[in-house]
Chains A and B, each alone.
Chain A
Amino acid sequence: MTRHLRFKTRVLTLVVVLANVLGNFLMSWGLKHRGAALGASVLEYLTVLLNPWVAAGACVLIVWLLSRMALLSWADLSFVLPVTSIGYVLTAIVGWTLLGEHIGPGRWAGTLLIMGGTALVGSTEVRTTERKGEPVSVGGVR
């Protein structure tokens, strides 16, 4: 049970992270090539969703949302947030390599600290609270 929980937590964490990075990249690509900044008009927001890159990004981010909800059905919020924040590092790398964005030493250092926080919290138990029909074990579920 515990091994199975750990396995599905890892698999779904991977799905959450990759969907988040890919979705953000696709949306950013679409918005960058749109030319102008978004205003306050609702119509403008709906129109931008017709851009194929932004639409693809939105679809991938729906996958991100659903997989994250599934992860939260058994894991703590204070666990899910840091372990999935490794996506920040991947996003910075994608922004730097594929979008040609400038990332200074300060931003790189900040991204690395976020990565350190991810690793630290990732070593803690997956769940410390009760779920419907799933009581927490003593010491949590690792």
Chain B
Amino acid sequence: MKWALVGVIVGATVLGDVFQTLGMRRHGEIHDFRPGALGRVAAALSRNWYVIVAIGMMAVSFFTFLTLLSVADLSFAVPATAATFVIETVIAKYFLKERVTWKRWAGAALVACGVALLAL
């Protein structure tokens, strides 16, 4: 049960993050953090379909995470979802076309080992 919930969280989080990245790339870098400017950013993002889909996926992930927290310890629930790190690094390289250096791959490997240890 716990690992099935982790699977749903990982899938929804990966999709949410990929769409969120695409949406924010489309929007461009945020330079101005004053309240008025942030309001204009929020208005622009509310019409950005990538961001809308991302928030939908994150909502699925959030409610599944609530369920997981009700049946598992926080110190299990949060780190167990770190599998998203490895999957998203692969997607970042081949789909988002980011330059993933050996340090980023090594970091992904370390996290993968960390996740394996968490399951012991």
Q: Name A residues whose Cβ lies closer than 8 Å to a Cβ of B.
A: 24-25, 27-28, 31, 34, 36-38, 45, 48, 54, 61, 65, 68-70, 72-74, 76-79, 81-82, 85, 87-88, 91-92, 94-96, 99, 101-104, 106-107, 109-114, 116-118, 120-121, 123-125, 128-129, 131-134, 140
Contact = CB atoms under 8 A, between A and B. Distances in A.
The majority secondary structure among interface residues of chain A is: helix
A109 B120 CA distance: 11
A61 to B, nearest CB: 7
A134 B103 CA distance: 24
Given A92-B75, A114-B111, A73 B29 contact: yes
The majority secondary structure among interface residues of chain B is: helix
A34 B69 CA distance: 11
Nearest to A111: B79
A77 B18 contact: yes
A45 B63 contact: yes
B98 A128 contact: yes
A103 B108 CA distance: 23
A73 B31 CA distance: 10
Nearest to A104: B120
B43 to A, nearest CB: 14
21 contacts: A24-B78, A37-B71, A38-B70, A54-B66, A61-B62, A69-B20, A79-B104, A81-B84, A85-B111, A88-B82, A91-B74, A95-B74, A102-B73, A106-B118, A107-B117, A113-B111, A117-B108, A118-B107, A124-B101, A131-B25, A132-B28
Contacts, number: 183
Given A91-B79, A113-B114, A132-B27, 12 more contacts: A31-B66, A38-B71, A77-B96, A78-B92, A81-B88, A113-B111, A113-B113, A117-B107, A117-B114, A128-B98, A131-B29, A134-B29
A2 B79 CA distance: 32
B38 to A, nearest CB: 8
B117 A113 contact: yes
B74 A72 contact: no
Contacts of B17: 77, 81
Contact of B88 (A31, A78, A133): A78
A113 B48 CA distance: 37
Contacts of B101: 124
Nearest to A4: B31
Closest 10 CB pairs of A and B: A110-B117, A132-B28, A113-B114, A117-B110, A121-B107, A106-B120, A128-B99, A78-B92, A95-B75, A117-B107
